[in-house]
Amino acid sequence: MKSEVLSVKEKIGYGMGDAASHIIFDNVMLYMMFFYTDIFGIPAGFVGTMFLVARALDAISDPCMGLLADRTRSRWGKFRPWVLFGALPFGIVCVLAYSTPDLSMNGKMIYAAITYTLLTLLYTVVNIPYCALGGVITNDPTQRISLQSWRFVLATAGGMLSTVLMMPLVNLIGGDNKPLGFQGGIAVLSVVAFMMLAFCFFTTKERVEAPPTTTSMREDLRDIWQNDQWRIVGLLTIFNILAVCVRGGAMMYYVTWILGTPEVFVAFLTTYCVGNLIGSALAKPLTDWKCKVTIFWWTNALLAVISLAMFFVPMQASSKRLARTVLIFTERSDQLSRATDRVPGLPANPGYAQ
């Protein structure tokens, strides 16, 4: 196939898909546990268990979704249809997950478990094919690098949009009625995410024809599991995402109940965004300077030290914000340093390239 130069419009369109993913993913990571415990009134132990079970289901659903998308045949291609047709139910379920129906405690727990599980499954339906889409838009290595660069920039912008605007939207829409505010806030962001995913679908094109699949899904799953490199990187990814979710989920509680200054939460989120931008910008120079494995170990060691300092070393709120900036910068550099080394068959996550 003769390679062609991708238009800026198509690169932006592709990046919009990851921006949409980050609008939802970052929001869930930062706010959902707080919403369940302090707004919906569900016991924290149940919420933690529910999140753990959902992550275990992800380990099964992610590779299965990848294999299913790879076998899709349509006039729109293999992966683009999933991005478009999964977007609307994904947005609807996201709003339902942030809703607070008047139920008994058991009813609330069942409702939360069902809607959260559906949310994670629909996220998989949209995001796994989206991540694979980058590999079939072009076969030119230079164009792929440019495509992924746009993706990371817009992904960071999507995360900033979600994290910075959520609480102002909650206060604007709900005022003192926090349940209404959270539902309305996520509804606005879900509409924005849907529009971004639709824009991604209509502005991208699958040009690379993959060879026909001749093996069964069972055989593919067996081959993936027998790949020791897949298992290693898979475990690393699980623990990396676990650390991100634990830190992000604890931050709202931390500034509210430990620092006693919930008004600084937006400032903490601003440092999150600044760290993301700095880490994204420096990831390439760092990996040009040293090999990716070395950068991976260095950044994770620094992540561990700063994460412990955030919660166990007494600091003023301003010092905490500075530490969080360095923490997120290191985390983002670590993610992007591994972005081009993705093992075939590994479940995709936001911020990770094909």
Q: Which amino acid is at 247?
A: R
Output the six-digit token pair for 26: 């970052």
91 Cβ neighbours under 8 A, 6+ residues apart: 190, 191, 193, 194
Indicate if 201 and 234 belong to the same structural domain.
no
73 and 167, same domain (yes or no) = yes
In a domain, 1, yes or no: no
Which residues neighbour 21 within 8 Å (Cβ) at sequence distance 6 or greater?
123, 126, 127, 130, 155, 158, 193, 350
* 186 and 247 housed in the same domain: no
**What is the reported pLDDT for 195?**
97
Q: Do residues 49 and 168 share a domain? A: yes
Give the model's pLDDT for residue 343: 38
Among residues 176, 209, 242, the one where a domain terminates is 209
Residues 125 and 56 in one domain: yes
Same domain? For 96 and 140 the reply is yes
Same domain membership, residue 136 and residue 51: yes
Q: Is the same domain home to 171 and 254?
A: no
Q: In terms of residue numbers, what domain contains 348?
A: 226-354
Q: What is the pLDDT of residue 160?
A: 83
pTM score of the predicted model? 0.76
Residues 143 and 89 in one domain: yes
Residue 142 maps to a domain: yes
Phi-psi region of 102 (alpha: psi -120 to 50; beta: other; left: phi over 0): beta
* Structure-derived torsion over alpha carbons of residues 228, 231, 234, 236, reported in degrees to the nearest 10: -80
Token pair of 27, please? 């929001």
pLDDT reported for residue 61: 87
CA dist., res. 50 & res. 109, Å (int): 9
Tell me how far apart the alpha carbons of residues 242 and 233 are, in angstroms, rounded to a whole number.
Answer: 14
Would 218 be classed as within a structural domain?
no
Q: How far apart are CA 278 and CA 330, in angstroms?
A: 9
Boundary of a domain, candidates 159, 184, 209: 209
What is the sign of the dihedral through the CA atoms of 2, 337, 63 and 98? negative
DSSP conformational letter for 138: -
* pLDDT reported for residue 217: 66
What would the two tokens of residue 330 be?
A: 């290191």
Give φ, ψ of 73 to 5 degrees.
-130, 120
Same domain? 34 vs 68: yes
Q: Which of 181, 209, 237 delimits the end of a domain?
A: 209
Measured CA to CA, the distance from residue 316 to residue 219 in angstroms comes to: 55
Interatomic CA distance for residues 339 and 94, integer angstroms: 27
Q: What is the pLDDT of residue 315?
A: 57
Is 220 contained in some domain?
no
Other Cβ atoms less than 10 A from the Cβ of 146: the count is 16
Q: The domain spanning residue 174 has which CATH number? A: 1.20.1250.20
Question: Into how many domains does the chain fold?
Answer: 2
Q: What is the pLDDT of residue 314?
A: 67
Residue 260 DSSP class: -
Same domain, 241 and 189: no
Same-domain status, 316 and 187:
no
Q: Which residue has the tokens 């993959």?
A: 210
Residue 259 lies in a domain: yes
In a domain, 221, yes or no: no
Which residue is associated with the tokens 């604007």? 172
Residue 102 lies in a domain: yes
In a domain, 214, yes or no: no
Mean pLDDT in consecutive groups of 10 residues from the start of the chain, 354 residues:
78 95 90 92 91 84 86 90 96 97 96 96 95 90 84 86 88 93 97 97 89 69 79 77 72 72 69 72 77 82 78 59 48 49 40 36
